[in-house]
Amino acid sequence: MKIVADANIIEIESSFCQFGELVLIPGRKISKADLVDADALLIRSITRVDRSLLDGTAVRFIATATSGVDHIDLDYLADKDIGFADAKGSNANAVVDYCFGVIALALLEEKIEVAELEVGIIGGGKGGGLFANKLARLGIAYRVYDPFLQGSGCHCRTLEAAMQCQVVSLHVPLTHAGAHPTAKLIGAKQLELLPANAVLINTCRGSVVDEQALGEFLTHRLDITTVFDVWENEPGINVSLALRVDIATPHIAGYSQPAKVAATESILRAFQEYFFPLEPGRDPATIAATSAQEKLPPPIGLRQGSELPQWATLLDVLPLTRISQEFKQSLASGSGKSAFDEFRSFHRQRLEFKNYSIELEQWNRSELKLFEAMGFELV
């Protein structure tokens, strides 16, 4: 058996070398010539999979170590009876960490107040649903809009209602067809619905927002805080827009080490089930994760002297302002596409809040509530 895989999938060699010949290639360089005699293809979001890549090859199974599948021509795979699997939900916790980091930043900059906060969640799937659950644990008001989940945990029937919250966070897949396509879902009309001093977060896909409309919107709505992790045409993104938003990051919201390990485990299970159906009662192999098993104390930084030390701790772990500043400096230097990919690679070892511990005696009960919801270990 021959397996072609993106060389940057974590634990890929140790997980798949046992099954046959494993050829590792950078994701952006995988070509049809590499797949002529391959049985399986394992990728990330940077590899476009369609007829032009697969026609005339022997590929029987494809797995993407990502939650999103907009880089895959699913209709073509179905037509050719090619097996497929994704890693949906594997990065949900990392994305939610990022969103709470944004809330922490807005609180510390006094742009919002917890007591008056309401979050509009657009998309109630794995990531949006987990975000809603953690907000509920903290007693923070929220509305979920998802036309596919009406009557099942959603709190508003219209996109317009969700857009009127003080914080709006996007968690939808990118789709171009169907009853509710999401391409350019957020355009000029929707942006104008944002209330004064609102925060807009996009961690799903860049094309969900009309970037031209966003650029025009920002010329007259200077009160809005924009936090964008995803962009149209990655890695060749609109540098001018990236330099204008408040926080710009290179598609790293879900890019934590635990999320990547979970994704590899997910596609490993799917691969085994497709090629080597398990005997009853036998569990599929799992990965010996390289992520830290021992919980780490969070760095000490912003929380010193802060009036909201528990929220500042989130930014000590996930320093969004510094990440954004360094990314923008790299973009401004003219590095372009290479800046995006190189900067993203710096965050391969990022941990999640659940990988850190908090000492009980240093915090009061109300402060510990946040850490519990975020998954910190209390010691």
The residues that are catalytic are 205, 234, 251
Distance CA 361, CA 379 (A): 9
What does the alpha-carbon distance between residue 362 and residue 360 come to, in Å, rounded to a whole number?
6
> Token pair for residue 270?
């799917």
Task: Classify residue 365 as exposed, middle or buried by CB count within 10 Å of its CB (0-12, 13-18, 19+).
Answer: exposed
- H and E: helices and strands count for the chain: 15, 13
- What backbone torsions phi and psi does residue 231 show, to the nearest 5 degrees? -145, 155
Q: How many CB atoms lie within 10 A of CB 48?
A: 15
Three-state DSSP at 356 gives strand
- Is the preceding peptide bond at 147 cis, omega within 30 degrees of 0? no
Q: Is 233 exposed, middle or buried (0-12, 13-18, 19+ CB in 10 A)?
A: exposed
